[in-house]
Structure formats: C-alpha cells, structure tokens
Amino acid sequence: MAQSKLLDYQNVSLKGTIQVPGDKSISHRSIMFGAIAKGKTTVSGFLLGEDCLSTIECFRKLGVEIDVDGTNVTINSTGIDAWEEPKEVLYTGNSGTTTRLMLGILAGTNLHTVMTGDASIGKRPMRRVADPLRLMGANISGRANGQFTPLAIQGTQLKAIDYSMPVASAQVKSAILFAGIRAEGTTTVRENEVSRDHTERMLKQFGGKLTVENGVITIDGGQQLNGTHVDVPGDISSAAFFLVAGAIVPNSEITLKNVGVNPTRSGILEVFEKMGAKMTVEVEDQHAAEPTATIKIRTSQLEATTIEGDIIPRLIDEIPILALLATQANGKTVIRNAEELKVKETDRIEAVVTELKKLGANIEATDDGMIIEGPTKLHGAHLNSYGDHRIGMMAAVAALITDSSIELDDAECIAVSYPTFFNDVSELI
Ligand code: SPQ
C-alpha cells in the first residue's frame, strides 16, 4: 500500500544552486545504443531513476554486460547479434520509453522475447509502434492485437519503410529508426512536428549515419555501430519543476547548472520568456552532441499566455508544472493541441485539472488541453499523484506556495525520473 507524504513548507523562499540529475530520454538511449554497438561504451551523468534502471535490467537479461558505479555506467557488448534469448520476461516497469523503443530494437533481432510493465504501462497504447514495425515485417503480438502489454516479439529480418508520423512522438520515431538500423534498405520517417531528436544525435555519436532534412529522416539499414562515450546532461524536464518553483515562490533565486537545452526539448524556456519570467540562460557549448546551459530564475510577476501548435511536442512533459505556473500568472492561460497528455503515465489533463482544483485553482479541462485563470491563492489539500512522477512533483512544488500543508498519496513514484527530488528541495530551502 503506497504511503502518503506530508508536504509542509510554510513561508519558504528558495535560494541556491543545484544540478538536476541526468536526462531520462538520453540515459535510456545511452544504454540501448551501448548494447547495440560493438565494444565498450562509457556513460557519465546517467540518471539512476527507476525507468532507466528498468532499461538496464532488460539488457542484462539479454546477456549484455552493464556495470553501474554511481552515475557512471559501462556497457561491454559484442553487438546485437551476440545477445542471448532471455529465459525471463523483460520487465519495463513504468517506462513507456523502454517499452516502445525496445519493441523497435527487438523486432529486428533473431530472438524471441516477451515484454511487460506495470499497471500504467498495461494501459498505454503500443500499436502506434507495433503497426509501423509490422509494416517492416515485424512479428508482434499482444492484447488487443498488440495494443497492450504483455507483448511477444519474434525477431526477424526487417525491411525498410517510408512512414509519415500520424502523431508527434519521439518514441514512435525512435522505435522505427532503431528498427531501420537492422532493416534491408533505406527507412524514411516523416515528421509534421519536430519531436525530441536524441536518437538521431546519439546514432551519430556511435558512428552511425542518418540524414535529417525538413522533417524527413532517412537511415540506411545494415549499419555497424561502435562503442563510445556519452555525457548525459541534466534533464530539462526535471529542471522545469525548479524553474517554476523559482518563479512562483516569493523571494527566490535559483541557479540550475548543466541543464540540457536541446531545442527539441526547450519549449518551456520560450514560454517562460513570453510570460515575463526573470530568467537568464547561459549556453555552455552550443556544438556539443547535446547543448547545456546554466539557467538562473528569480521570483517573477507573470502574464498568462497561450501554449499551442508545434511547441507542444517540445514541452509535452512540462505541461503539468506549467499548469501550476499558470495559476499564478495574471490572466487566462490556454493550452491547446495537447491531447497526447491523455496517454501518458496517467491521463495528465484529467489528473492536473482534478488535483489543482482541490487546491482552489481556477482551471477547466478541454478536449485537447486546459484553460487556467490566474492568479489564485492556493490552499492545502489531500492530493493524489496517480502513480505519475510528474503529477507528484507538480503537487510538491504547489506545496511551496499553499497556505497550509499538502498530503500527497504515492509520492514514491517521483523516483521514476527524479529520485533525489526532495533532497534538492531541502537544499534550496
Ligand atoms: O517513458 P515515458 O513513460 O513515456 O515518459 C514520459 C515522461 O513524462 O517522462 C511520458 F510520459 O516522457 C516521454 C515523452 O513524453 C519520453 C520520450 C522519449 O524519451 O522519447 C518521448 C515523449 O513521449 P512520446 O509519446 O511523445 O514519444
């Protein structure tokens, strides 16, 4: 039975410097590429969140040697053809990224594998990945014709496809690109809206080739990848909670170091600018595989805004915390075109609206987003995380500005992406 956590932070201000943990998306991919490549891969700044540890466990079951020493990880692999057929089910925990990307990887092996995850994963749609992979010749079966886990994959020789993405999803795109590495011919993926491009960037780090032009990605099959070093930057999706906290908690001034600011992820910074946040972004190395920055944020007077269109995939995971931010902004904030939120760890439109209403926020759900009218003084309440790390952290940041404490059910789920979250909160108080 999940325990509740009392979040009692009255009259606090936040001051100081922190470095948020490694990027979740990049950490997953470092293990996947390291396991596919031949030779030794070293990773620094790896995220020790539950999701990324699930990825490591899956590859260990495939016979890949992976050593974890703090946030340094070493992968020794003799390449994908040397993986062993696992005797056990591969358990992907709460991680959509692990489940979907591994589907693309496993489809082109010569192995039979079965994958399953937790209750939340069991409800998340998998046909968005299984269907294009089937067009490549993949053998995938599962509940509701492959829509839900458990999924069984009989690996086979895949063939290239030309695929136009029906939704903006880095997971779908990445699964097809991973499959494309093993397929016969040249695979093309067409994106209408740009989604995070960590897979494309990292493939090149491992010596692979692909082209990206006007939203069209092409990759040749039969490529051999070689082990390398991956430096994982801090996760902007984790930094987002402290960016919002710094902007809405009175008398605060926070510095966040080494935050990944890949333009396909940094939509939140554009929203902060539009809302008038007192923020500076100092980019460290624009030409690194993944650019990083030091971001400073101070308590700010905020104006409402509209968040819609092609910025949505570049800040999709930040919408729960942006909704909290909007409760403190002057005017009506409208979030549109974000229906993808309904198929995350939980229905994040419903969860955000229900929980922020309990605190007294003026917020309504729409079909593809929400409308928030601010500013409102928030009060304490008993909240639910729904087992979703991002809802849990939104509740914890809200507790920094409520007039009395918040009791949060299932706060442990925060360890999925940010196991040291409460230490960092304490560090700044
Ligand atoms: O891995 P998971 O559970 O899907 O994690 C989430 C998150 O909030 O951490 C989504 F719930 O992030 C996804 C993100 O929303 C991670 C991701 C990736 O690493 O490729 C891509 C996005 O999902 P999608 O469905 O848009 O491709």
pLDDT per position as a tens digit, 4-52? 999 999 899 999 999 999 999 999 999 999 999 999 999 999 999 999 9
**Containing domain of residue 107, as a range?**
24-231
* Domain total of the chain: 2
169 lies in the same domain as 286: no
Q: Of all atoms in ligand 1, which is nearest to the CA of residue 199? A: 20
CATH code of residue 160: 3.65.10.10
Asked if 198 and 210 count as a contact pair (C-beta separation under 8 A), the reply is: no
Same-domain check for residues 50 and 89: yes
317 included as an active-site residue: yes
Out of 197, 317, 388, 409, which one is annotated catalytic? Answer: 317
Give the distance (Å) from ligand 1 centre to CA of residue 95: 8
The answer to whether 385 and 395 have CB atoms below 8 angstroms apart is: yes
How does DSSP assign 264-284, residue by residue?
TTTHHHHHHHHHT-EEEEEES
Nearest partner of 100 among 167, 49, 159, 191, judged by Cα = 167
What pTM did the predictor assign? 0.98
Helix, strand, coil tally for the chain in percent (to 5): 35, 30, 35
Per-residue pLDDT reduced to its tens digit, 73-104:
999 999 999 999 999 999 999 999 999 999 99
CB 198 within 8 A of CB 170: yes
- Give the residue whose CA is nearest to atom 25 of ligand 1: 169
Q: Are 235 and 21 in contact (CB under 8 A)?
A: yes
**Cis-peptide, bond into residue 150, ω within 30° of zero:** yes
Half-sphere exposure of 275 (CA within 13 A, CB side): 36
Same domain? For 124 and 202 the reply is: yes
Radius of gyration (C-alpha) of the chain in whole angstroms: 21
Structure tokens at 213: 């032009």
Ligand 1 centroid to Cα of residue 411, in Å, is 20
Q: Is omega for the bond preceding 125 within 30 degrees of 0, making it cis?
A: no
Distance from Cα 316 to the centre of ligand 1, integer Å: 8
Q: Which atom of ligand 1 is nearest to the CA of 345?
A: 11
Cβ < 6 A, ligand 1 pocket: 24-25, 51, 95-97, 169-171, 174, 195-196, 316-317, 340, 344-345, 390, 417
Residues 262 and 372 in one domain: yes
Nearest CA to ligand 1 atom 5: 96
Last residue of a domain, one of 180, 197, 231: 231
Q: Is 400 left (phi over 0), alpha (psi -120 to 50) or beta?
A: alpha
pLDDT of residue 340: 98
